[in-house]
Homo-oligomer: A and B are copies of this chain.
Amino acid sequence: MKDNPTSSAPGRSGGRAARRASRNAPLADHLRPIQPGMRGGTYRPLSAADMQRIHETALDALEQIGLADAPESGVRYLTGAGAILGEDGRIRFPRALVEDTIAKANRSVTLMGRVSANDLTLSGTRVHFGTAGAAVHMVDVDGRNYRESTVQDLHDAARIADQLDNIHFVQRPMVCRDIVDNLEMDLNSIYACCSGTTKHVGMSFSDPEYVAHGLELLHMIAGGEDKWRERPFVSNSNCFVVPPMKFATESCETMERCIEGGMPVLLLSAGMAGATAPSTIAGAIVQAVAECLAGLVYVNAVRPGHPAIFGTWPFGLDLRSGAMTGGSGEQALLTAGCAQMHQFYDIPGGAAAGISDSKLPDMQAGWEQMCSNVMAGLSGLNMVYEAAGMHASLLGFCHESLILGDDLIGQALRCVRGIEVSDDTLALEQIRSVCIGGPGHYLGTDETLARMQTDHVYPALGDRTSPKEWDELGKPDLLRRATARKTEILSQRAPARLDPLKDAEIRERFNIHLSG
């Protein structure tokens, strides 16, 4: 994607400025210290026995309790696969059916971008961070205000995310509240995201009937149904259950149509621990795992091997108020524990992290977003959803916070990369030559200089100046710098993410709210 200016850095003019320019220049992608899809898994909150017990309990729950409210079509699919419809209307899942499904489900899912460089391969402990959610507010940092989110806000978020290296996918993070018709809202959400980024996009449909329209739009963007089916660059986030242990009837129908249309699905179980899921971390994980296993049986009954993401997304609750909270240590543990269960099944999965309860991108937001994000990364979660920009326990989205989140996630990814141990990195010979007859320090040694870009992640907006330098620079404010970066990105002419001819065609067919 990028050139490697370090190899052609000019040696002119005394060196210091040139050296600094060279050091500050971007590296070729394959040399960058952090990448999408690095492997986590060094953090394991659950023991092997713990995972086995969670699995067994989830199987018990599926076999004995089952799920209510499947649509008629779902009952046919599921009973056809071997599930049992009880007289109480609940569908129960024999252990063998669940175990067979796990055995034959996809071990890997590729979520495609509109350019292949943005493809994400989900498997094992490979980690990707991105946006998601259904915020209804935009956070206006300057005025400390919450206002309703619009389609322009969504498009801007996609354009910003497109420019941020550590935001690997763009699941629609907010609702376009300026579009009252739900079908128009869904179609314009697709348009707003796909016209802002070539990264993989996540969407959600409000009604099963809308899927066909959405697919028509996606076919147009792709340049035909065959091209879409070859490289589906949008996945559907499917809240197929209403926890506890009930299918979301309409959403299941939506899911069936997405599967038929060749769209990868996220099997999203978003229980709230203490309200719609047990209050204990282990119990909330059990229920989410059980629900997603039911979803996995469902998907594989509709179309064996269809790409599906195991979306155990249990959320935390503040039990004092009964309100959702996403910034707690409990939330970080819920998400990391789920990541381990995905690995237990060897099935690609995702969960939510990076949520802040704070209303603004302040210190609280920083510690909350890092806590769950870094733990999700270290646990090897394939898809870290909601990783940047989310405030007020998911009610508000903030562009500045998205931009700062790129820095934050950069450091989290550095932690995911971990500690390399080799003869070179152990550095015995370097220690020897520095200490015995050497300079007595490592500044400027070949070994130090060689690694200064490939080993280290430097923040874009995070400040590392000394108090004196900071004072001389006029005490730059982090949020102001983020706002300036936002303005810079958005004031650039929009990148041609959609071919103009295609765009005109789309605008003729659909009521596109964004101005052209």
Does any Cβ of B come within 8 Å of A435's Cβ?
yes
Does any Cβ of B come within 8 Å of A318's Cβ?
yes
- Contact indicator B456/A286 (Cβ below 8 Å): no
| Option from B42, B281, B367, B464 in Cβ contact (under 8 Å) with A44 | B42
Tell me how many chains of this kind the complex includes: 2
| Option from B320, B421, B455 in Cβ contact (under 8 Å) with A23 | B320
B residues near A98, Cβ cutoff 8 Å: none
B residues near A281, Cβ cutoff 8 Å: 419-420, 425, 455
Closest chain B CB from A513 CB (angstroms): 25
> CA of A325 to CA of B456 in the docked complex: distance in angstroms?
11
User: Which positions 400-429 of chain A face chain B at CB distance < 8 Å?
Assistant: 401, 404, 407-408, 410-415, 417-422, 424-428
| Interface residue stretch chosen among A298-306, A357-365, A486-494 | A357-365
- Contact indicator B436/A65 (Cβ below 8 Å): yes
- Given contact pairs A323-B464, A462-B327, A464-B321, A286 touches B428 in the complex (Cβ within 8 A): yes
Does any Cβ of B come within 8 Å of A337's Cβ?
yes
Number of chain A residues close to chain B: CB under 8 A:
129
- Contact indicator B43/A395 (Cβ below 8 Å): no
B residues near A368, Cβ cutoff 8 Å: 366, 370, 411, 462
B residues near A319, Cβ cutoff 8 Å: 23, 448-449, 451-452, 456
> CA of A471 to CA of B61 in the docked complex: distance in angstroms?
43
Interface residues of A (CB under 8 A from B): 20, 23-24, 42-47, 49-50, 53-54, 57, 60-61, 64-65, 68, 88, 90, 137, 144, 146, 244-245, 274-283, 285-287, 318-323, 325, 327-330, 332-333, 337, 357-359, 361-371, 374-375, 378, 392-393, 395-396, 401, 404, 407-408, 410-415, 417-422, 424-428, 430-432, 434-436, 440-443, 445, 447-449, 451-452, 455-459, 461-467, 470-471, 475, 477-479
